[in-house]
Homo-oligomer: A and B are copies of this chain.
Amino acid sequence: MLKEEQAQISHECDDCPIRHRAVCARCEADELDLLEAIKYYRSFEAGQTVIWSGDKMDFVGSVVTGIATLTQTMEDGRTQMVGLLLPSDFVGRPGRDGSAYDVVATTDLVMCCFRKKPFEQMMERTPHIAQRLLEMTLDELDAAREWMLVLGRKTAREKIASLLSIIARRDATLNLRPTEGALVFDLPLTREAMADYLGLTLETVSRQISALKRDGVIHLEGKRHVTVPDFTRLMEEAGDDADGGMFA
């Protein structure tokens, strides 16, 4: 909690790293001023739970830096990740009180938050916010449906390749690295978290990553640092059309 207080250092929206991608992306200067007046930052350490499923959630917000996950758990402990929240992603649902999922910080995390009530009022008055939120929600819905294909119909190897290509792609667009040649990135998830995302066991994840390494689809430095020498090859392994590639 003290940590959270410290994080409330002054941040200007103008030089916010997610200014042009988050829910505020379409706001004009004056609208941004209003948001700036009611926003506050919260930070979390890796492993900390942001909210538990079913808990009352009196804020909404955007991931500024770090990574969080959305997970669902059955009574007997089986868990399924249902969302991977990267910088600029939105957390929380206007018009609902409780959280439907566990939200967990998997790395150190900074969020830009708004108390729900004021945000909802703002949304009614500022179409730019509602428009952007609709757009982001539709994108998430598409991503969720893409993921349903992965979960329902892909083999373990294809699942791993799909996850790697998604992380690689999002990492590339976020960091604006060139997409030519080899892609390099760090896995932000443990083997177990990957298993929860993919509907697999952590042993299978480990085995398939080893297999992809053995077959030269990826290189590993340590456990987390990944090099993809040929992205098209990875896409093929994922079972995707090798075109749906690298834009926006």
Contacts and interface: CB of A to CB of B under 8 A. Distances in A.
Interface string A139-171: 011101111110111000000000000000000
A214 interface: no
A153 B199 contact: yes
Q: Is the interface of A mostly helix, strand, loop or mixed?
A: helix
A79 B153 contact: yes
A134 interface: yes
A146 B140 CA distance: 14
Given A82-B145, A127-B127, A74 B153 contact: yes
Contacts of A79: 153
Contacts of A153: 74, 78-80, 199
Contacts of A229: none
A65 to B, nearest CB: 24
A22 to B, nearest CB: 16
Interface string A32-47: 0000000000000000
B147 A148 contact: yes
A24 interface: no
B142 A100 contact: yes
A95 interface: yes
Contact of A241 (B75, B149, B151): B75
Contact of A199 (B74, B80, B151): B151
B80 A149 contact: yes
A133 interface: yes
The 8 closest A-B pairs by CB, nearest first: A152-B199, A82-B145, A151-B151, A144-B144, A80-B149, A80-B152, A78-B153, A151-B152
21 contacts: A72-B148, A74-B149, A74-B153, A74-B239, A75-B239, A75-B241, A76-B239, A80-B153, A82-B148, A93-B138, A95-B135, A100-B142, A124-B127, A130-B131, A130-B134, A137-B141, A140-B141, A141-B141, A144-B144, A148-B151, A152-B198
